[in-house]
Amino acid sequence: MIIHGKWYPPESSAQSVATLSITGDDYSLEIENQRLRAGRLEDISVSDRVGNIERKLVLSDGSVFATDNNDDIDKTFGDRNIIASIIHTVESHTGWVVTALVFTLLFSFSFFKWGVPWVGTTIAHALPQKTNELIATHTLDFLDKSMFKESELSVERQAAISNHFQSTVLPLESLQQDIPFKLHFRKWQVGKESVSNALALPSGDIILTDAFVELSKNQAEIDSVLLHEMGHVVKRHGLEMIIESMLVTTAVVLVVGDASGITDLGAGLGALLVSANYSQSNETESDIYALDLMLKANMDPIAFANILSRMMEREAPSGDSEVVDESKEADSNDENKDDNDKSLLDYLSSHPATAERIARAQRYSQCFRQQQTDCSMSER
């Protein structure tokens, strides 16, 4: 067999046209019909095949014969490196490539959809409660310095809510001894607007803003939101989010490391969408946690629906068409239509459409009126 190619002396860039003749286990190399080198095939080292790139054959004296005649090289030298030739076989057959593509797509989808949340939950709950407190060590101090002002609620009002929380709400959670839950009251202003909100830190600190307390009409509404916030802490959503974001970052670095720098922008957008999706499912989980406990404690879950819709109205002035439309749909409990209305923005927002959450609380309230203590069946 004769293979045409180029020849380089050892370590040199001088290039000459050459032919490699192979008979049995022996080879001879010729340049311009002059026999230059000869020897046995086993003394030649051959580079692995990648696509159709030129193959380099290093002869025993260190000189190099290069050729793009890949097929004859494969025939002559066979499978010097089994793994590399298997990989090349996979790369060069359309069927295999399509299989690889389908598998990669399915895997990536399942990895982000189920794998990451599963690993996040598993690790978050395997770690001791101290870790949960550790990640929130200075968070409250930081929030106090940067966002919050001291509460302007009367001391009596604060004490009443705190006492009720300690005596009635906390005992509903059997894990309460492990987690040092504590209530805080703060004023939170953005511009002239005071923010109506409740926040929970992984350490068990729950913060109620003045505007939120003023917005609530009764104790049951405050309790329902407190239970929702406790859900975040008990389900360790803070730790989960950290672990999930670490997983996503590592996966993205691995795959993007295989691409050009501009992909970073697209990957960043993707990671944002994915993590917004995770925190949505956390909100849902906390809601169900709170609603379940309310049913067990014989509290009407309608309180949660009420405070949610009032917060939504407050955030969005009545002129805002889209939000109002959505809440109307929720009122009529037309859920199919609601699902169809899910826009990209619902995924961008860290909370599921509030209408959906209100509808769920209303569903639970129906269960409550029918005196059921388990409404989880309605969660399909």
Q: Specify the residue, 252 or 372, whose C-beta has the smaller distance to another protein.
A: 252
Closest to another protein by CB, 24 vs 257, is: 257
Min dist CB 249 to another protein, Å, is 6
Cβ at position 121, least distance to another protein in Å? 14
d(CA 342, CA 362): 20
Closer by beta carbon to another protein, 2 or else 253 = 253
Residue with Cβ nearer another protein (54 or 150): 54
User: From the CB of 242, what's the least distance to another protein, in Å?
Assistant: 5
Residue number with CB closer to another protein (71 or 264): 264
* Residue 342 to residue 334: CA distance in whole angstroms: 13
Phi, psi of 41 (to 5 degrees): -55, -35
Q: Which amino acid is at 171?
A: P
CA dist., res. 205 & res. 54, Å (int): 65
Nearer CB in complex with another protein: 282/362: 282
Name the amino acid, one letter, at 99: T
What is the distance between the alpha carbons of residues 72 and 65, in angstroms, rounded to a whole number?
14
Contact 243, 119 (CB under 8 A): yes
Name 29's bridge partners: 20, 37
Q: Which is nearer to another protein, 173 or 283 (CB)?
A: 283
**At closest approach, how far in Å is the CB of 2 from another protein?**
20
Contact 153, 210 (CB under 8 A): yes
Nearer to another protein, 314 or 372 (CB): 314
Minimum gap (Å) between residue 369 Cβ and another protein: 24
Q: How far is the CB of 233 from another protein (least distance, A)?
A: 7
The candidate with the shortest Cα–Cα distance to 72, out of 122, 7, 27, is: 27
Give the count of alpha carbons within 13 A of 332, CB side only: 9
CB of 102 to another protein, least distance (A): 10
- What is the rounded CA–CA span in Å between residue 280 and residue 261? 30
Identify which of residues 136 and 302 has a Cβ nearer to another protein in the complex.
136
Q: And the tokens for 123? A: 């690790």
96 contacts: CB under 8 Å, gap ≥ 6:
89, 90
* 146, two tokens: 């940067």
Select from 167, 262, 191, 184 the least CA-distant residue to 229.
Answer: 184
Q: What is the closest distance, in whole angstroms, from the C-beta atom of residue 202 to another protein in the complex?
A: 5
Q: How many other C-beta atoms are found inside a 10 Å radius of the C-beta of residue 321?
A: 9
Q: How far is the CB of 253 from another protein (least distance, A)?
A: 7
d(CA 183, CA 134): 18
